Amino acid sequence: MEFIDTHAHLYDEAFLDDGDGSITRAKEAGVTKIIFPDIDSTSRETMFAMADRHAGTVFPTLGLHPTSIGADWEKEFGLMEPYMDRSICAIGEIGMDCYWSKEFVKEQEAALKIQLELADRLNLPVIIHSRDSTELIINVLKDCRHLNPRGVFHAYSGSAETFRELQRLGDWYIGIGGVLTYKKASIAETVRNIPLERILLETDSPYLTPVPFRGKRNESSYVPYIAAKLSEQTGKPMEEIAATTTENAKRLFGI
């Protein structure tokens, strides 16, 4: 079976001495491709260097994470310019986050709109980060409906009803990760009411580690554990989960 991890930060400091090893383990587990979402200028060069070392396995993106947006966000946004000629498969990780702070909500909205426009110009999908900000993001998508946005809502935690509303505002997939394996996680019920053809697998490594490794550093080799739980929740064979989610990722990201 072949799997794709559509969201992993294996270039994070948590993998300082083991990033390349984590990719080897991922391949051994059947994870043949890994998407690296961009955060900001502080880790971008490390991300691209790792992607270069593992060309054909690692696919980088370019974007400004909402928690990296402050009063001078336009300067930080401008630091992406030197990387515009690099091979990227998406604009992300972009979006809004009102969990950590609501101080720069307007700036986050402005940055999201500009990056949706950038994705449209480059004909690329987006990776959306949404935390305590679903309604705000929906309002932005309504304003940007003319761009026909497409992409994935990373670490999706919304309802099936919210998913259907999003589909009216673009062409969206949802990213399902380790939270699916947690007790009482609402997403475990939600995935039963969302077509498998709209689901992507992800780890968000080094965060959101699935059971039975919860409490330890997450990594891409754990994708099969997420797939197994999705199989259990939906009643679909593991082989179908792997084949469909892998095809979904290839189609969306063009990899």
Q: How far apart are CA 188 and CA 250, in angstroms?
A: 24
Q: What kind of architecture, by CATH, is found in domain 3-215+225-253?
A: Alpha-Beta Barrel (3.20)
> What local confidence, expressed as pLDDT, does residue 101 receive?
86
Using alpha carbons, select from 66, 57, 10 the residue that is nearest to residue 31.
57
Phi, psi of 58 (to 5 degrees): -105, 135
Rounded to 5°, angle at Cα 65 from 60 and 68: 130
How high is the mean pLDDT in each 10-residue block of the chain (255 residues)? 98 96 98 98 97 98 97 96 96 95 95 98 98 97 97 97 97 98 95 98 98 97 98 98 98 98
Q: How far apart are CA 111 and CA 244, in angstroms?
A: 33
> What local confidence, expressed as pLDDT, does residue 202 receive?
98
For residues 43 and 71, is the Cβ–Cβ distance under 8 A? no
- Two structure tokens written together for 40: 């900001």
> What separation in angstroms does the CA of 237 have from each of 22, 62, 140, 193, 228?
27, 34, 37, 17, 9
Query: How many other CB atoms are there within 10 angstroms of residue 206's CB atom?
Result: 18
- Two structure tokens written together for 133: 């900000």
What pTM was estimated for this model as a whole?
Answer: 0.97
Using alpha carbons, select from 27, 90, 84 the residue that is nearest to residue 54.
27
SS3 209: coil
For residues 203 and 213, is the Cβ–Cβ distance under 8 A? no
Using alpha carbons, select from 103, 173, 104, 113 the residue that is nearest to residue 139.
113
Residue pointed to by tokens 């794709």: 4
